[in-house]
Amino acid sequence: MKQLPQLLLYFLVFTAYCARAQDRSLENTKQETGSFQTGTDLFNKGDYAGAINNFKELAQKHPSDSAFSTLGYAYLLTENYPLALEAVNKSLAYNDERAATYTIRGMIYRKQEEFDLAIADFTKAIALAPDETAAYTNRQEAYMNKGYFQQVIDDCSKIISIEPTNQRAYRNRATAYFFMQNIDHSIADATKAVQLDSTDIQAYKVRAGAYMMQNEQYDRALADFNRVIALDSGVAEHFANRAAIYVYKADYPAAIADFTRAIGLDPTTQAATYGERGKAYVFSGDLERALQDFDKAVALEPSNGEYHRNRGRGLFYMKKYDLAILAYTQAIELNPEDADAWTYRAEAYEKSGNASSAEADRMKAREMAD
């Protein structure tokens, strides 16, 4: 359950209702405004059901575009998307020229992963109110969902031209630049984002990724993930990502320690993390522990060919070539397009003295490369 942002709710109440006050009696307007305030107070106290009942009663007694749009927004924040959409559509039936209502409906569509419908509504809102940033903010995030990174950049740039200190726009533009491999711009925007909000974990993560791609600036990337973990030390992904940086730095004990912490924090990602820790053990020369981790990864997700391939690699380094061949064969059966598995099995065949099978596997790997 999310707390209703007061600023947007007040916007809906006072801009819409006060603008329409001339069409109703002063007493009715006071009653409606007071009812909105009651609903807002209930939401902020965590009484979401009470707030929604308040807004429903208001919409029934005084039906209007603002009453239904506010009810729709309340349903949106409680993740009741069908009722949210129903209420907002009623609002648009009363008035189809309010930008805020299209923005709310776009948000509902985006939550339902109807990204094209969301973008259409945000675009309509922008046409009605081109100098308000809410619709641009939501549209660029829908563009991000679809992988339209240039459009994300364009919308974020527009937001920044209107609000030069809009931290979210800098962070999201940094993310889009990252995916477009414009690394210098990504770092610049992420840096601006963390200057505006030194607690923005996503901005630090984006900048760390950009540092990794820019001349392998591992120390800077590591500093950003140290900051991420200082802000939130309860997320396994943060430790796994920092561990990966340690691997690149060839600091395998530190990598193993972070992978171990990640495994303890999130059992649902244990298979992948066991696999990565196994690789770190291989690099550190501890083949027995590496094989133990590869075995655990396979046991947890036996249908994942990559884990069998990793296990085969561990067995190969232990000079157990026949067992390595069996592991690589399982990997190939699960994923015949895994060129690495064919190449590695060729190496194992070579070591076991089976030159013809080795050559056949190499030919298969070359065919896949072509």
250: number of Cβ within 10 Å: 11
DSSP for 138-184, written as a single string: HHHHHHHHHT-HHHHHHHHHHHHHH-TT-HHHHHHHHHHHHHTT-HH
CA distance 344 to 313: 8
Whether this prediction's pTM lies above 0.85 is answered by no
Q: What is the pLDDT of residue 173?
A: 98
Judge whether residue 1 has pLDDT over 70. no
Q: List, for residues 271-297, the tens digit of each pLDDT value.
A: 999 999 999 999 999 999 999 999 999
State which amino acid sits at residue 350. Answer: E
Tokens linked to 243: 């561990």
Task: Quote the crossing angle between the two packed helices 339-351 and 355-369, to the nearest 10°.
Answer: 160
Q: List, for residues 10-25, the tens digit of each pLDDT value.
A: 334 334 443 443 344 4
The top-level CATH class assigned to 302-370 is mainly alpha
315/21: higher pLDDT: 315
Q: List, for residues 177-186, the tens digit of each pLDDT value.
A: 999 999 999 9
CA distance 105 to 121: 7
Mean pLDDT over 160-164 rounds to 97
Mean pLDDT over 77-98 rounds to 95
Q: List, for residues 238-262, the tens digit of each pLDDT value.
A: 999 999 999 999 999 999 999 999 9
Judge whether residue 8 has pLDDT over 80. no
Q: Single out the residue of 369, 307, 308, 315 nearest to residue 347, CA to CA.
A: 315
Q: What is the pLDDT of residue 328?
A: 97
Q: Could you state, in order of their start, the residue ranges of all structural domains in the chain? A: 302-370
Greatest distance between any 2 Cα atoms in the chain: 96
CA distance 161 to 247: 41
